[in-house]
Structure 1
Amino acid sequence: MEMLMQIPLQITFHGVDHSDAVETRIREKVAKLEHLFDRITSCRVVIEQHHKNTSNLHHKGEPFHIRLALTVPGDELVVKRDPKDSHVNEDIYVALREAFAGMERQLKEYVDRSRGNVKARAQA
């Protein structure tokens, strides 16, 4: 089995300068997802940052919106990290790590369901 990235990957930056380092990190994270499940058909990643017009020049950076959409046979898995959520982060790498961790959980659940390993969720 080849471990090269086989799926179409679309990375979009809105209100954020394109970064090769960020793109490389995204590609690494997607490759890890592909290792978990090799039948992913596409992946879209949108990184967005809204800039509020504010007179406070010392205002901290705006949090990042991250949207991941993974197309798998018969389904689309979506993770969104929005500044209205309590767990957002102004560090792009932390925001990406959290978004991809959420996608990894969803993908593992999808794989379990598709293999018929569905069990009642344990109450944690």
Structure 2
Amino acid sequence: MQGQVQVTFRGMSKPMWIEESIRSHLKHLEIFFNRITACQIMVERNQKRHRQGNLYHVRIKLIVPGHTIVVNREPAAQHEHEDIHVAIHDAFNAVQRRLQDYVREMQGDIKTHMTPNVGEIVKLDHDKGFGFLRTSEGAELYLHRNAVIDGRFSELRVGSKVRYVADAGDDEKGPHASTVVPL
């Protein structure tokens, strides 16, 4: 870890084995992402429950370049958090998921949803199972019967609007439409 690690316990003693478990989880995070600059962890035993065992609350604040990741695992009605190991494990799983999201965002791997292309059928041959559609830019794309979703090729007519995905195709046939959905 590049920076400091601060582990705080509230409402309980500071058992060495718990701190060792926390540091083990931190080492796992460092293997995944080695640019963690600081980490603050608070483990608290909630002593307000009278009928059942005490629940543990774990809060992790992870500081990475340009961002702070905070996980606050409230025990609420989660009886599994009567076990401190489970509470710590759940909190570190949550912080790892958020750290993975942060790394994907840094690398530009966040999925972007493209707006669907809409075109118009300009030529059709139902007997041979192909046709052409005109894109909004004015280009014509080849359309095969198998590219139409759910076998709805027979529904198409010249002038029909369709949603499609443009595919570059091979050098021989050129660009064509795939995943065509009649509108």
Corresponding residue of 1:21: 17
Query: 1:64·1:88 contact (CA, 8 Å) conserved in 2?
Result: no
Please give the alpha-carbon distance, in whole angstroms, between the structure 2 residues aligned to 1:26 and 1:86.
20
Q: Percent identity?
A: 38
> CA offsets per residue over residues 31-60 of structure 1, 9 Å max, x none?
111111111100010001121274xxxx32
Unaligned runs of at least 5 residues, structure 1? none
Q: Structure 1: which 4+ aligned runs deviate by more than 4 Å?
A: 85-88
Please give the alpha-carbon distance, in whole angstroms, between the structure 2 residues aligned to 1:78 and 1:104.
11
Please give the alpha-carbon distance, in whole angstroms, between the structure 2 residues aligned to 1:93 and 1:48.
13
Larger Rg: 2
Corresponding residue of 1:80: 72
**Counterparts in 2 of 1:92 and 1:119: CA distance versus 1, 3 Å:** same
**Counterparts in 2 of 1:53 and 1:108: CA distance versus 1, 3 Å:** closer
**Counterparts in 2 of 1:14 and 1:38: CA distance versus 1, 3 Å:** same
Task: Quote how far apart the aligned CAs of 1:87 are.
Answer: 7.2
Query: 1:40·1:72 contact (CA, 8 Å) conserved in 2?
Result: yes
Please give the alpha-carbon distance, in whole angstroms, between the structure 2 residues aligned to 1:76 and 1:88.
27
Corresponding residue of 1:99: 91
1:116 to 86, 108, 111: 108
Give the alignment's Cα RMSD to 1 decimal. 1.9
Residue aligned with 2:82, SS: coil
Please give the alpha-carbon distance, in whole angstroms, between the structure 1 residues aligned to 2:22 and 2:97.
17
TM-score (normalizing by structure 1): 0.83
Please give the alpha-carbon distance, in whole angstroms, between the structure 1 residues aligned to 2:91 and 2:42.
11
**Counterparts in 2 of 1:12 and 1:113: CA distance versus 1, 3 Å:** same
TM-score (normalizing by structure 2): 0.57
Task: Quote how far apart the aligned CAs of 1:16 are.
Answer: 1.3
- Does 1 or 2 have the higher relative contact order (CA < 8 Å, sep 6+)? 1
Corresponding residue of 2:38: 42
